[in-house]
Structure 1
Amino acid sequence: MQVKIGFEIHQQLATKKLFCSCPGELTDAEPDAIVARRLRPTQSELGEIDRAALDEYIKKKYYEYEVNNSHACLVELDEEPPHEPTEKAVDSTIEIALLLKAQVVDEIHFMRKLVIDGSNTSGFQRTAIIAFDGYIDTSQGKVRIPIICLEEEAARKIKQEGNKVVYRLDRLGIPLVEITTAPDIKTPGQAIEAAKKIGDILRSTGKVKRGIGTIRQDVNISIEGGARVEIKGVQDLDSIPWIIKNEIERQKLLLDVKEEIENRVKKDKIKLEIRNLTDIFKKSNSGIIKKALGNKGRILGMRLQGFSGLLRDRLGPELAGYARVKAGVSGIFHSDELPAYGIEAEEVEEVRRNLSLSEEDAFVIVAERYAKARKALEAVHERALLAFGGIPEETRMALKDSSSKYMRPLPGAARMYPETDIPPVVISPDKLLWTESNLPELIEHKAKRLEVDYKLNNALAEQLARSEYSELFERVVAGNRKFAGFAASVLLSTLKELRREGFSVAAIPEEKIEEVLIAAERGELAREAVVEVLKFLCEKPESRIETVKESLGLKGFDEDELRELIKNILKEKEDFIREHGNAAEKPLMGVVMKQVRGKADGKLINRILREELLKFPGE
């Protein structure tokens, strides 16, 4: 079976916001203000209303926006026109486009993309094409990149309470580069290879954000005889093959259902006929039913002619997904799974009689307030009709178990219209030429160079090349390549361990980490003391290294002081040395290290200890 797979990769850029001077960082501070809004769809430049936008509007939601004055301004509130696009964000996107071998446009024209799920206060997202016709090479062939865009990030969703959704505006407006591949990917293995390759190119620039939530992969999947389905919010690269495999299986199942249902019943026989079945369940032992009735709910049901046996583990989750999203119910019951959940066989039979079901018919019931229950069954009916088409075009959300759930219909072209507040941005030939001449070293090339230049093993070199500290590493070891192993260990292992232990490593400025490593390289700070110094800096990141050493009691020994200390220890351990001879060196090293406690470098201690042992009487 032919499978087509493509990506939309969204990567935050490490700059200030795209259309104002607010910082491109998140904050957990209490908001200074809260603004409430309702959003409505508008027509595109062709006079059409986008189906996804209309679907959101029908949900009747309203939105609250938390505003922190230090991280958002009137631009994010849509109370002030956008400023000129941030030059650094534009330049970074051009650089990424050139690394992807794409053709950069002569002029950048921003458009408005209709978005009324509340994630943008204006009801649209500003986006612009920066380049086109790029590509990457994979072991299974070329993957084309037809378009590269620069756009603004959405607001950060905080919580949802009924029809109210709360967003925070700190994330809104952070520059986002969007890389769209053609559906050239044929296997899950090629998909993860392509995603990693694009990710490495992005990180090669040193101009993108890192960490959870800063990069997202939307996966587009279609199989032969089906339609495109977009799965949003894939953050873990290792889950990509499983998400693709699960979606392929889901689509195969839907095509099987299509074939089976078409052999049973005609589409026009699936009527929306809703019955009030509350009386049947007045004495029900089901906790869910009791709770609904206690909240003045009703039990509504409908027949699905010819659907018996097609719901359990097949179409049932699809119907429930539509009901949850479009009506806000927690779930539905269907005949393929009953009796269960406290609903008795007698109640099931009574429902079947009431709805006049044959053996091939199924039913769906919903326990909710009347209006919500009816809306849920209308959504179920809508999805049941779509089963005759096989696979509906839709947007789905990736889940932790690598499955997905329904979100909304797939957006169409009707969501785009021109941005009138931002003039075109001309990309001069000189800027393009300068950028082409100063492209950064790709991670795959850097890894090979680090392996050769610093005598690192392949795995360590690759890890270091992908690290945010790769440039810092090279600055530190430039004058002493023998220090490379220790520096790499601190940057890749020690800092990671401190994060796991709960230390705020992110609070330490990069230049301060560099200062610590240089002090260790010069022998001004014992290597054994580096961990304690870094822990101290996590709490007080602006402290001077000398101040930290004094606070931790790490004022170092000079060589003469250290030699005198070692001589005294050897005198105390004279009998031990005579008894063990050369084997005494290792235990004595431990004794000295314990007394020095990180105030001198281990290599220096070992050298002096060996020198003094050679001078020792009788040795």
Structure 2
Amino acid sequence: MTEYDSEELGLVAGLEIHQQLDTATKLFCDSPTVERDPEEAERKLVRHLHPTKSELGELDAAAVEESRVDREFTYLAYDTTCLVEEDDEPPRRVDPEALDVALQIATMLDATVVDQAHVMRKLVIDGSNTSGFQRSLLLAQGGSIETSEGPVSIEDLMLEEESAKRVEEHDGGVVYSLDRLGVPLVEIGTGPDISSPEQAREAAARIGTLLRSTGKVKRGLGTIRQDVNVSIADGARVEVKGVQDLEGIEAIVRGEVGRQAELLTVRDRLRERNARVGEPRDVTDVFADTESGVIRGALDDDGAVWAVPLFGFDGLVGHEIQPDRRLGTEFSDHAKRHGAGGIFHTDELPAYGVTPAEVATLRETVDAGGDDAVAIVAAGTETAPLAIEAVAERAEAAIDGVPEETRGANDDGTTRYLRPLPGAARMYPETDVPPVEPDPSDVDVPELLDEKAERYAESFGLDPGLAEQVAFGRRFPTFEAAVERGIDPTFAATTLESTTTEIRREGAPVEALTDEHFLGLFSLVEDGDLAKEGVPEVLTTLAENPELTPAEAVEVAGLSGVSEEAVREAVLEVVERNADQVAEEGMAAFSGLMGEAMGALRGKADGEVVSEVLREEIGKRA
């Protein structure tokens, strides 16, 4: 794979970080922010969405393209779904808890909070909101973060409602779940100050640390999303949406730099050839007797085949612009947006059942010569002309260079076309919610996670690695509550991090464990009602049966504490069973017998007590 020098190519990048807040209720109603199983849905709502004009009478280009795909949207509603989420009631006032957390974040970013925040509607007709728009407030501007390659400015911080969760997609439309719709979300946009893939990753990591420092953001897959804006010199701004992790950010930036560089190479070669795009034409007759499975299937379904001649494009439609993705793949992405399954083009034909004779007839029909290419779409009679027109428009853009657009992140570090970049025409005021006058003066600035890790190591004597695990983990409030109650810090930290990781790997659903589970368990150990060695089994029992109290889980696990007399009896049995070894090795037999004694007691007794009794009994015989 070609290596591209980002600095030499003039990389300019910025980030948009979207983070769900862990508040009790949603942004504009009192519904809880808890994720639900789609199987729990009680009813379904159906919507068809269409673009509307802005206050200035303009239509947003991205919304218009989205509307060209006729789809039905189905929404799963629950016993907790409110009328605001169903778009049957106006939104209520902004949730004060969400506003407080957002102001904390603004303070940590050193951003200036606005005097008055107005709720705006942002047109979104991909079905992710029942109303056809997303509500958003601009809360702060003008902050910055530091990276090893220099400061990165913060252009804005928005507080907005999360979209509905996509459950499935089918030919007729999309099914969404309303449990996520309306969850408070902060969007942090940086300035275009990032000049390397590594700096993009570092900036995202720094913002993530600030967000988690509040202790009030949701954790887990899908709760934070990173969008990356990328351009190079002579290229164009491209927004890549849905990057899930930090490693992905670096890969996406590198990949987009390479994609734009290759598109500029294609542009230069097309211009050298005076390339142009011809008029789309119906070429169904060319394939009347075809044995190509894809084309035959479309025609047998009363479909059609449309083609567009690409003069001067020969050999360039198949030019690789990303790993395993070519210019033709870009054309195909646009065709798919209009309902087609994809395209064929002459850089790859004859193939897929299309014969050399059919290719020759196709070229002749659209007046394409040896230096030209032809792209075709086989689909329904209404879909095929729309899809081939989209291909023609994308081919025209290839002659210009790099089109501005919104793209989606793929798992392999490549990207795919989604829609045009949205414009200002999709924003207009929300008249149902009064303005908010945020007051950052009473905001408590939380301790940063890296500072917290240092404090844990210094104040509680934790190993630096364990201190960092706890500080950056989601359960640091539980750890602090445990220490405040007098629980040994190392034991609490190890349980919250290492022990839960171990039982998770063994299949325990640790996400079901609550603060009350942990704190109750710590108290049982502290009071001598449970040996430390029994903690993993009790935690597993609680994770699998979260309705139990820690004391009940101890009973279910059969780990109720035993007396010192019972410990001595178990140890004596082990020592007598291994009398010859004890007589021969003396205290050197301790290590092996200790494991056997602990196994016999099954975690019912504290290891220190067992150790003390075992040493005493071996000493008597030695």
TM-score above 0.5, yes or no: yes
- Equivalent positions of 1:290-439 (< 5 A) are 290-312=296-318, 313=320, 314-325=326-337, 327-428=338-439, 432-435=440-443, 438-439=444-445
Instruction: Say if 1:316 and 1:463 are closer, same or farther in 2 by CA, change over 3 A.
Output: same
In the alignment, which residue of structure 1 is the partner of 2:61?
51
**Residue 587 (str. 1) matches residue 592 (str. 2):** yes
Displacement of 1:147 after TM fit? 0.4
Q: Distance in 2 between matches of 1:565 and 1:497?
A: 28
- Measured on the aligned residues, the alpha-carbon RMSD in Å equals 1.9
| Contact 1:228–1:394 under 8 Å retained in 2 | yes
Q: Distance in 1 between matches of 2:577 and 2:375?
A: 88
Matching residue within 544, 548, 551 for 2:553? 548
- Secondary structure (helix, strand or coil) at the match of 1:337 reads coil
Displacement of 1:186 after TM fit? 0.6
- Secondary structure (helix, strand or coil) at the match of 1:258 reads helix
In the alignment, which residue of structure 1 is the partner of 2:4?
none
| Contact 1:223–1:248 under 8 Å retained in 2 | yes
| Contact 2:466–2:494 under 8 Å retained in 1 | no
- Secondary structure (helix, strand or coil) at the match of 1:336 reads coil
| Contact 1:221–1:230 under 8 Å retained in 2 | yes
Q: Distance in 2 between matches of 1:478 and 1:74?
A: 42
| Contact 2:529–2:560 under 8 Å retained in 1 | no
Amino acid at match of 2:200: A
Amino acid at match of 2:534: A
Matching residue within 44, 59, 67 for 1:34? 44
Instruction: Say if 1:296 and 1:449 are closer, same or farther in 2 by CA, change over 3 A.
Output: same
Matching residue within 112, 118, 123 for 2:121? 112
| Contact 1:270–1:385 under 8 Å retained in 2 | yes
In the alignment, which residue of structure 2 is the partner of 1:462?
468
Matching residue within 482, 505, 511 for 1:506? 511
Q: Distance in 2 between matches of 1:116 and 1:324?
A: 18
Q: Distance in 2 between matches of 1:273 and 1:577?
A: 92
Q: Distance in 2 between matches of 1:334 and 1:477?
A: 67
In the alignment, which residue of structure 2 is the partner of 1:472?
478
| Contact 2:212–2:472 under 8 Å retained in 1 | yes
Instruction: Say if 1:279 and 1:43 are closer, same or farther in 2 by CA, change over 3 A.
Output: closer
- Secondary structure (helix, strand or coil) at the match of 2:142 reads strand
Which digits, 9 at most, give the CA deviation of each residue in 1:373-430, with x for residues without a partner?
11111101111111222111100110111111101000011111111001111224xx
Q: Distance in 2 between matches of 1:565 and 1:376?
A: 78
Q: Distance in 1 between matches of 2:12 and 2:280?
A: 39
Q: Distance in 2 between matches of 1:178 and 1:108?
A: 15
In the alignment, which residue of structure 2 is the partner of 1:231?
240
Q: Distance in 2 between matches of 1:509 and 1:384?
A: 55
| Contact 1:133–1:147 under 8 Å retained in 2 | yes
In the alignment, which residue of structure 2 is the partner of 1:2?
10
Displacement of 1:307 after TM fit? 1.1
Q: Distance in 2 between matches of 1:219 and 1:206?
A: 25
Q: Which range moves more in the overlay, 124-133 or 50-59? A: 50-59
- Secondary structure (helix, strand or coil) at the match of 1:82 reads coil
In the alignment, which residue of structure 2 is the partner of 1:63?
73
Instruction: Say if 1:161 and 1:576 are closer, same or farther in 2 by CA, change over 3 A.
Output: closer
- Equivalent positions of 1:258-269 (< 5 A) are 258-265=267-274, 269=276
**Residue 518 (str. 1) matches residue 544 (str. 2):** no
Amino acid at match of 2:143: G
- Secondary structure (helix, strand or coil) at the match of 1:425 reads coil
Q: Distance in 2 between matches of 1:559 and 1:81?
A: 66
Which digits, 9 at most, give the CA deviation of each residue in 1:527-557, with x for residues without a partner?
2211111121123223233322222221212
In the alignment, which residue of structure 1 is the partner of 2:21?
13
Q: Distance in 2 between matches of 1:307 and 1:404?
A: 23
Displacement of 1:348 after TM fit? 1.4
- Secondary structure (helix, strand or coil) at the match of 1:107 reads coil
Q: Distance in 2 between matches of 1:275 and 1:198?
A: 52
Which digits, 9 at most, give the CA deviation of each residue in 1:11-52, with x for residues without a partner?
011111100000112211342222222222222222211111
Q: Distance in 2 between matches of 1:498 and 1:572?
A: 32
- Secondary structure (helix, strand or coil) at the match of 2:477 reads helix
Q: Distance in 1 between matches of 2:16 and 2:35?
A: 23
Q: Distance in 2 between matches of 1:32 and 1:240?
A: 38
In the alignment, which residue of structure 1 is the partner of 2:31?
22
| Contact 1:63–1:165 under 8 Å retained in 2 | yes
Q: Distance in 1 between matches of 2:548 and 2:277?
A: 73
Q: Distance in 2 between matches of 1:318 and 1:17?
A: 39
Displacement of 1:78 after TM fit? 1.4
Instruction: Say if 1:415 and 1:170 are closer, same or farther in 2 by CA, change over 3 A.
Output: same
Amino acid at match of 1:9: I
In the alignment, which residue of structure 2 is the partner of 1:528?
533
**Residue 158 (str. 1) matches residue 163 (str. 2):** no
Matching residue within 279, 286, 297 for 2:285? 279
Instruction: Say if 1:568 and 1:408 are closer, same or farther in 2 by CA, change over 3 A.
Output: closer
Which digits, 9 at most, give the CA deviation of each residue in 1:440-460, with x for residues without a partner?
110111122223333434333
Displacement of 1:479 after TM fit? 6.9
Q: Distance in 1 between matches of 2:267 and 2:241?
A: 25
Structure 2: stretches of 5+ with no match in the other structure: 1-8, 321-325
| Contact 1:569–1:592 under 8 Å retained in 2 | yes
Which digits, 9 at most, give the CA deviation of each residue in 1:53-107, with x for residues without a partner?
111112222322221132x211112111111111000001000110111111122
Q: Distance in 1 between matches of 2:307 and 2:65?
A: 24
In the alignment, which residue of structure 1 is the partner of 2:3?
none
Amino acid at match of 2:452: K
- Secondary structure (helix, strand or coil) at the match of 2:191 reads coil
Matching residue within 233, 246, 266 for 2:255? 246
Amino acid at match of 2:278: K
Structure 1: stretches of 5+ with no match in the other structure: none
In the alignment, which residue of structure 1 is the partner of 2:456?
450
| Contact 1:526–1:600 under 8 Å retained in 2 | yes
| Contact 1:275–1:355 under 8 Å retained in 2 | no
| Contact 2:277–2:308 under 8 Å retained in 1 | no
Matching residue within 554, 567, 570 for 2:575? 570
In the alignment, which residue of structure 2 is the partner of 1:125?
134
